[in-house]
C-alpha cells in the first residue's frame, strides 16, 4: 500500500515544532539587512477568519519567507484591531462584556492563523484594546491636543439615527451608514476633531516618492481633492462676501451669486431681506434634508435674497444674490460667484431663475449648454483676447493689486471627526473644567482605562454609554485642582490602527511607544499589503498620524510605508459577495480540514492575478491539492547517486529564475504554474537527482512550508528548510541550446524550424525556404523580402 500524504499529521507536527523552537522570532541584528513586511491586522469578529484574510497574509508570508531565505532579517508581525462596534452590539444583545467576547475571538483567530502556518513572530502580537497598547494611543491624542491639532467643535456631523453615533465622511456610503445602512442625517454636535487638513498638501506631495500602486495614489489624491484658484471679495452690505473660484478668469461673466443656506450672512442680514419668510422657509427646508436628499435632486432650487445686491469688483456691476442648496457650506467659503455661461451647474440654475448668461470665453454654443473648455476671452475688459491660463494669472494679479483677492488652494478633505458615542473604544483622555476648559489628563494617569457601565446603550441624546459610568466621570482638573468631568466619547476605530506598525517594532516597551533604536532599525515598513477599501481611511489616517509624530520628533522618517500593494476581493463561486445572509461564506477551517493548509495557501495564490477580484472554486482547489500530492509522490523517485542531466538543470534553473522573479512581482499565480511545469518535468524522469528535488522544495517552501519542511527532513537534513538559502538561478544554464523558429509567409504560420541558438540569418533563411510546406506555398510566387529575427521568426514576404 503506497503512502498517501497525511497533511493533517504533518502540518500539525511542523506547526508545533516551529512554535516551540520560535523559528520565526526576530530581534534587531545590525549585521543583517532588515525587511519589514506588513499586512493589515484583522478585527477579531465572532465569525472568525474569512477566506479573504489569508489572500493578503499568504502573499506577504510568501514574500517574507523568500526574503528570510535570501538572508534578510525579516519582521512579519500580526496583531488585532480589537476595538469595534460588533463586540459592543453583541454586548447589548447578550450582556457579555466586550472584553470577554473579544478575548475569545482573538483566541479563535490566533488558532486559525496558526493553522495556516504563517511565519508571524507571535511574540510581537499586539492588541489595540489592551490598556498597555491604548495607553500610547491616548498619549498620542494628548500630543495632538498639545500641538493644537485636536480641538472640540460644534459641527454638523453625519449622524446615524439607528446606531446613534456620529460618523466620519469616510464611513458614509451614498448617504447611508456604512454599518447598519440607515440613512444618515445631519446633526449639530460637539465633537473632537483632528486637523488632518493641515497636512493635506503634504499627503499629496509626498506620494511622489512612494512606491504605491497607482490606483491607491490616484484615489488618495482624488479624495484629498486639491484645487487651485483664488478667493475674491465681493461687496455685500457692510461686509465682504468672499468666494472661492477655480476660474477667476471668468469673473466678467458673473451674473449672480449664491450662498449656502447655512452661510452666516443669511442670518446676519435676515432683517434686510424683503422676502424674509421665503428665505427662512428655504433655510429650514434644507436643514431638514439629509445629505442624500440634497444631492439626489437634479433640479436646482433656491431663493433670491431680495433687497440686497453684491458688487462685482472687476466691473462694478451690481448682481443679485441667491441661496441654494447646491452650494455646500463645508467647501470653500460656502459662497460662489456664478458664471452660467461657463459652468453647467450655474447654467442650470440660471435657466430655472431666468438669469442672464454672459459668455466671456469664445467657443461652444451657450444656447445649448455651458462652455467649460478653453478659448479666447471676450466681453472681459483687460482679459480680452487671452486664453484661459494667461487670463487666470492676470485676473489674480489684478485682484491682488486692487486688494480684493488672492490666490488660494482648497481641499475637499475635511478634518477628522474623532469622537464616537460608543463604549468599546479608547477613552479620550480629556477632562472638562468650568474654569480651565478642556485639559488633558497627566501622563502619569495613562492609561485611562474603560470603566464598567450598567449597560452599553447610548442614551437618547446620543451620549456615549460612558455617561452612565457614575464616579468615573468625576475627577479633578489637572490644572487648577477644581472639579472636573471626564470626556465620555471614545475614539474611532481608526485610532489604534493609525500607529500599530510602530508598536510591532518594540511591542513590550512600557517606557515609550517604541524605542528610538527599534524604530531606527525596523522602520520604514518595506512592503505593506492591504485592501483598497482602506485607501481613504486607515491608509490616509495612518500616513497623517505618522507625519505628525515625525514633526514632533518621535519617528525618524516622514512616511511610514515605502511600498503599498493591494489584493483583489474573493467572491463566492457564483460571483456574489460572500456574506452570512447569503449563506455562501467559505470557512478556512473546513478547507484546511479537507485539503490541508498547504493546498489552501497554494490555492489562494493560484486562483488568479493577485490584484484582481477572484471567484472561489472548490474544483480548482482540487487541482492544487493534487499538485501537493504529486510533489510528495516524487520523493520515491529521488535517488542519492543520480546526477542531473543538462536538460534537468535547464528545467531547474528556468524554474528558479521564474519563481524568484514572479514572487517579487506578486504574480503568484504564474509562479505556481512555473512550479507545476517543473514538477511535470520531474514526473517524466525515471530517477530524480537530489539536487533537483531539493531546489524544488526550497522554491515551494514559501507557498507550502509544511510539505517542504517534511520532505526536506525525509531527505535526511536536520536543518529547517525555512532557514535554508534561497537558490540562485543561472540564466546561462537555463538557456536552451536549440531554438524553434516560426516560419511565416506573409505573416501566416507555415511551419517551424529547429536551429542552433544564435544561428545566422542566412542559415535560418535557408532552412525556412527548405521546408516542404514553404516550397509548396511559394509555388508560382515571387519572394519580395525575407525578414529574419534571430531565435524568433522567419517571415517570407511573397506575392
Partner RNA sequence: GCGGGUGUGGCGGAAUUGGUAGACGCGUCAGACUUAGGAUCUGAUUUCGCAAGGAGUGGGGGUUCAAGUCCCUUCACCCGCACCA
3-state DSSP call for residue 590?
helix
Residue closer to RNA by CB (options 419, 744) is 744
Considering only 45, 70, 108, 169, the residue that binds RNA (CB under 7 A) is 169
- Report the distance separating Cα 24 and Cα 65, nearest Å: 10
Using an 8 Å Cβ cutoff, are 539 and 220 in contact? yes
424: Cβ contacts below 8 Å, ≥ 6 apart = 83, 84, 85, 87, 88, 91, 98, 102, 129, 450, 456, 490
The window from 65-73, 190-198, 629-637, 686-694 that contacts RNA (CB under 7 A) reads 629-637
- Nearest distance from C-beta of residue 798 to RNA, angstroms: 10
Q: Does 645 bind RNA (CB under 7 A)?
A: no
Out of 249, 343, 489, 604, the residue judged to bind RNA by CB under 7 A: 343
**Minimum separation from the CB atom of position 480 to RNA (A):** 42
What is the distance, to the nearest Å, from the Cα of residue 227 to the centroid of all Cα atoms in its chain?
23
Instruction: Provide the CA 586 distance to its chain's centre, in angstroms.
Output: 24
Instruction: Give Cβ neighbours of residue 785 (< 8 Å, ≥ 6 apart).
Output: 796, 797
* 245 binds RNA, rule: CB under 7 A: yes
CB of 728 to RNA, least distance (A): 18
Residues 270-309 that bind RNA (CB under 7 A): 294-295, 297, 300
Q: Please, what is the angle between helix 618-634 and helix 597-606, to 10°?
A: 120
CA–CA separation, 39 and 55 (whole Å): 10
- If one asks whether residue 633 binds RNA (CB under 7 A), the answer comes out as yes
Q: Does the footprint of RNA cover residue 789 (CB under 7 A)?
A: yes
- Closest by Cα among 731, 668, 729 to 700: 668
Candidate residues 231, 233, 325, 604; the one interacting with RNA per rule CB under 7 A: 325
Q: Which residues contact 638 (CB under 8 A, 6 or more apart)?
A: 687, 688, 689, 690, 693, 715
Residues 6+ apart with CB under 8 A from 318: 309, 310, 311, 312
Q: Kindly tell me which of 503 and 750 has the beta carbon lying closer to RNA.
A: 750
| Residue 49 backbone dihedrals phi, psi, to 5 degrees | -65, 140
Residues 75, 624, 696, 708: which binds RNA (CB under 7 A)?
A: 624
* Binding residues among 195-214 for RNA as defined by CB under 7 A: 214
Of the listed pieces 91-99, 135-143, 201-209, 668-676, which binds RNA according to CB under 7 A?
668-676
Which one, 504 or 606, has the nearer CB to RNA? 606
Is 749 one of the binding residues for RNA (CB under 7 A)?
yes
Residue from 318, 400, 622, 783 that binds RNA (CB under 7 A)? Answer: 622
Taking the mean position of all CA atoms in its chain, how far away is CA 611?
12
By CB under 7 A, tell whether 356 contacts RNA: no
Q: Does 616 bind RNA (CB under 7 A)?
A: no
Stretch that binds RNA, among 91-99, 167-175, 382-390, 689-697 (CB under 7 A): 167-175
Looking at 281, 480, 746, 756, which residue binds RNA (CB under 7 A)? 746
Provide the minimum distance between the beta carbon of 777 and RNA in the complex, in angstroms, as a whole number. 7
- What letter does residue 427 receive in the DSSP assignment? B
Smallest gap from residue 219 Cβ to RNA (A):
5
Q: Is 318 in the site for RNA (CB under 7 A)?
A: no
Listed in sequence order, the residues at least 6 apart from 77 whose beta carbon sits closer than 8 Å to its beta carbon are: 38, 120, 121, 124, 125, 126, 504, 507
- HSE, CB side, 13 Å, CA atoms: give it for residue 30: 5
Which one of 124-132, 323-331, 465-473, 755-763 is the stretch in contact with RNA (CB under 7 A)?
323-331
Alpha-carbon distances, residue 677 vs 31, 409, 559, 634, 655 (angstroms): 38, 56, 41, 14, 8
Nearer to RNA by Cβ, of 732 and 776: the residue is: 776
| Nearer to RNA (CB atom), residue 160 or residue 433 | 160
Q: Measured from the CB of residue 265, what is the shortest distance to RNA in angstroms?
A: 14
Cβ 436 to RNA shortest distance, Å: 36
Question: Strand pairing partners for 230?
Answer: 245, 407
Q: Does 629 bind RNA (CB under 7 A)?
A: yes
Q: Does residue number 215 form part of the binding site for RNA (CB under 7 A)?
A: yes
Say which DSSP state 363 is in. Answer: -
* Residue 627 interacting with RNA (CB under 7 A): yes
Instruction: Select from 143, 164, 412, 457 the one that contacts RNA (CB under 7 A).
Output: 412
Contacts of 12 (CB under 8 A, 6+ apart): none
Phi, psi of 520 (to 5 degrees): -60, -35
Among the listed residues 563, 630, 637, 717, the single contact to RNA using CB under 7 A:
630
Q: Determine which helix (DSSP H) or strand (DSSP E) holds 677, and give its type and residue range.
A: helix 668-683
Q: Which of 108, 752, 763, 778 binds RNA (CB under 7 A)?
A: 752
Q: Which of 676, 689, 692, 708 is in the footprint of RNA by CB under 7 A?
A: 676
Binding segment toward RNA, per CB under 7 A, in 105-113, 244-252, 360-368, 698-706 = 244-252
396-404, long-range: CB < 8 A, 24+ apart: 396/230, 396/248, 398/314, 399/230, 399/232, 399/248, 399/313, 402/313, 404/232, 404/233, 404/240, 404/313
| Residue from 244, 314, 527, 726 binding RNA (CB under 7 A) | 244
Query: Which 80-139 residues touch RNA, going by CB under 7 A?
Result: none
Yes or no: say if 669 and 62 are a contact pair by the CB < 8 Å rule: no
Query: From CA 780, how far away is CA 397, in angstroms rounded?
Result: 77
The answer to whether 58 and 116 are in contact (CB under 8 A) is: yes
Question: Is 740 an interacting residue with respect to RNA (CB under 7 A)?
Answer: yes
DSSP H helix total and E strand total for the chain: 25, 30
Site string for RNA, 560-599 (x = CB under 7 A): ----------------------------------x-----
Asked if residue 731 binds RNA (CB under 7 A), the reply is no
Kindly tell me which residue out of 332, 560, 702, 729 binds RNA, with binding defined by CB under 7 A: 332
Figure out which of the listed residues 260, 417, 688, 707 binds RNA, where binding follows CB under 7 A. 260
Amino acid at each position: 500500500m503506497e503512502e498517501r500524504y497525511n497533511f493533517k499529521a504533518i502540518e500539525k507536527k511542523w506547526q508545533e515544532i516551529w512554535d516551540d523552537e520560535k523559528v520565526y522570532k526576530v530581534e534587531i541584528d545590525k549585521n543583517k539587512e532588515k525587511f519589514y513586511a506588513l499586512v493589515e491586522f484583522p478585527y477579531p469578529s465572532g465569525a472568525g477568519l474569512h477566506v479573504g484574510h489569508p489572500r493578503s497574509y499568504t502573499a506577504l508570508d510568501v514574500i517574507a519567507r523568500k526574503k528570510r531565505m535570501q538572508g534578510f532579517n525579516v519582521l512579519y508581525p500580526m496583531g488585532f484591531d480589537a476595538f469595534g462596534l460588533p463586540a459592543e452590539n453583541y454586548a447589548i444583545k447578550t450582556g457579555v462584556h466586550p472584553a470577554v467576547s473579544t478575548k475569545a475571538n482573538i483566541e479563535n483567530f490566533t488558532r486559525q492563523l496558526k493553522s495556516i502556518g504563517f511565519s508571524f513572530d507571535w511574540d510581537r502580537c499586539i492588541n489595540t484594546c489592551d490598556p498597555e497598547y491604548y495607553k500610547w494611543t491616548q498619549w498620542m491624542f494628548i500630543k495632538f491636543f498639545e500641538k493644537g491639532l485636536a480641538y472640540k467643535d460644534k459641527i454638523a456631523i453625519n449622524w446615524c439615527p439607528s446606531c446613534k453615533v456620529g460618523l466620519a465622511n469616510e464611513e458614509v456610503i451614498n448617504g447611508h451608514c456604512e454599518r447598519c445602512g440607515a440613512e444618515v442625517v445631519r446633526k449639530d454636535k460637539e465633537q473632537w476633531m483632528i486637523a488632518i487638513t493641515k497636512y493635506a498638501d503634504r499627503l499629496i506631495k509626498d506620494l511622489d516618492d512612494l512606491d504605491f500602486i497607482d490606483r491607491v495614489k490616484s484615489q488618495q489624491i482624488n479624495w484629498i481633492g486639491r484645487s487651485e484658484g483664488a478667493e475674491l471679495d465681493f461687496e455685500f452690505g457692510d461686509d465682504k462676501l468672499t468666494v472661492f473660484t477655480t476660474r477667476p478668469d471668468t469673473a466678467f461673466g458673473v451674473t449672480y451669486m449664491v450662498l449656502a443656506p447655512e452661510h452666516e450672512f443669511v442670518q446676519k442680514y435676515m432683517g434686510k431681506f424683503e422676502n424674509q419668510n421665503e428665505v427662512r422657509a428655504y433655510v429650514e427646508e434644507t436643514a431638514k434634508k439629509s445629505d442624500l436628499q440634497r444631492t439626489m435632486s437634479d433640479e436646482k432650487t433656491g431663493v433670491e435674497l431680495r433687497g440686497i445686491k453684491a458688487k462685482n469688483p472687476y466691473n462694478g456691476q451690481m448682481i443679485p444674490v441667491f441661496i441654494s442648496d447646491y452650494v455646500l457650506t463645508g467647501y470653500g467659503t460656502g459662497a460662489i460667484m456664478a458664471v452660467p455661461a461657463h459652468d453647467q451647474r450655474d447654467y442650470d440654475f440660471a435657466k430655472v431663475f431666468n438669469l442672464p448668461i454672459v459668455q466671456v470665453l469664445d467657443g461652444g454654443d451657450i444656447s445649448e449648454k455651458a462652455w467649460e473648455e478653453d478659448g479666447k476671452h471676450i466681453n472681459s475688459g483687460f482679459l480680452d483676447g487671452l486664453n484661459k491660463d494667461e487670463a487666470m494669472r492676470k485676473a489674480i494679479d489684478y485682484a491682488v493689486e486692487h486688494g480684493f483677492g488672492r490666490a488660494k488652494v482648497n481641499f475637499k478633505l475635511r478634518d477628522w471627526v474623532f469622537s464616537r458615542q460608543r463604549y468599546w473604544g479608547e477613552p479620550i483622555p480629556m477632562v472638562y473644567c468650568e474654569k480651565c476648559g478642556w485639559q488633558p489628563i497627566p501622563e502619569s494617569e495613562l492609561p485611562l482605562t474603560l470603566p464598567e457601565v450598567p449597560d452599553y446603550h447610548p442614551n437618547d441624546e446620543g451620549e456615549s454609554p460612558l455617561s452612565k459610568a457614575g464616579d468615573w466621570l468625576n475627577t479633578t482638573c489637572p490644572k487648577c485642582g477644581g472639579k472636573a468631568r471626564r470626556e465620555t466619547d471614545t475614539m474611532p476605530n481608526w485610532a489604534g490602527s493609525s500607529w500599530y506598525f510602530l508598536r510591532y517594532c518594540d511591542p513590550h516597551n512600557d517606557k515609550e511607544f517604541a524605542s528610538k533604536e527599534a524604530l531606527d532599525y525596523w522602520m520604514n515598513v518595506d512592503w505593506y499589503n492591504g485592501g483598497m477599501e482602506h485607501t481613504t481611511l486607515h491608509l490616509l489616517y495612518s500616513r497623517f498620524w505618522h507625519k505628525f509624530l515625525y514633526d514632533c520628533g518621535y519617528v525618524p522618517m516622514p512616511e511610514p510605508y515605502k511600498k503599498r500593494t493591494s489584493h483583489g476581493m474573493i467572491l463566492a463561486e457564483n460571483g456574489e459577495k460572500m456574506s452570512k445572509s447569503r449563506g455562501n461564506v467559505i470557512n478556512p477551517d473546513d478547507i484546511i480540514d479537507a485539503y490541508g493548509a498547504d493546498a489552501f495557501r497554494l490555492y489562494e495564490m493560484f486562483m488568479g492575478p493577485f490584484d484582481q477580484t477572484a471567484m472561489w472554486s472548490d474544483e480548482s482547489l482540487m487541482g492544487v491539492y493534487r499538485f501537493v500530492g504529486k510533489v510528495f509522490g516524487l520523493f520515491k523517485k529521488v535517488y542519492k547517486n543520480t546526477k542531473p542531466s543538462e536538460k534537468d538543470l535547464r528545467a531547474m534553473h528556468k524554474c528558479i529564475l521564474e519563481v524568484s522573479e514572479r514572487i517579487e512581482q506578486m504574480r503568484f499565480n504564474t509562479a505556481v504554474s512555473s512550479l507545476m511545469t517543473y514538477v511535470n518535468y520531474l514526473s517524466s524522469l525515471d530517477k530524480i537527482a537530489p539536487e533537483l528535488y531539493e531546489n524544488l522544495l526550497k522554491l515551494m517552501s514559501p507557498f507550502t512550508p509544511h510539505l517542504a519542511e517534511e520532505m526536506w527532513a525525509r531527505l535526511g537534513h536536520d536543518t529547517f528548510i525555512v532557514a535554508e538559502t534561497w537558490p540562485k538561478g543561472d540564466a546561462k544554464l537555463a538557456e536552451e541550446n536549440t531554438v524553434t523558429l516560426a516560419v511565416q509567409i506573409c505573416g501566416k504560420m507555415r511551419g517551424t524550424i529547429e536551429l542552433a541558438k544564435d544561428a545566422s540569418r542566412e542559415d535560418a533563411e535557408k532552412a525556412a525556404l527548405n521546408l516542404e510546406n514553404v516550397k509548396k506555398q511559394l509555388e508560382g510566387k515571387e519572394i519580395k523580402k525575407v525578414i529574419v529575427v534571430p531565435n524568433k521568426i522567419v517571415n517570407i514576404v511573397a506575392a
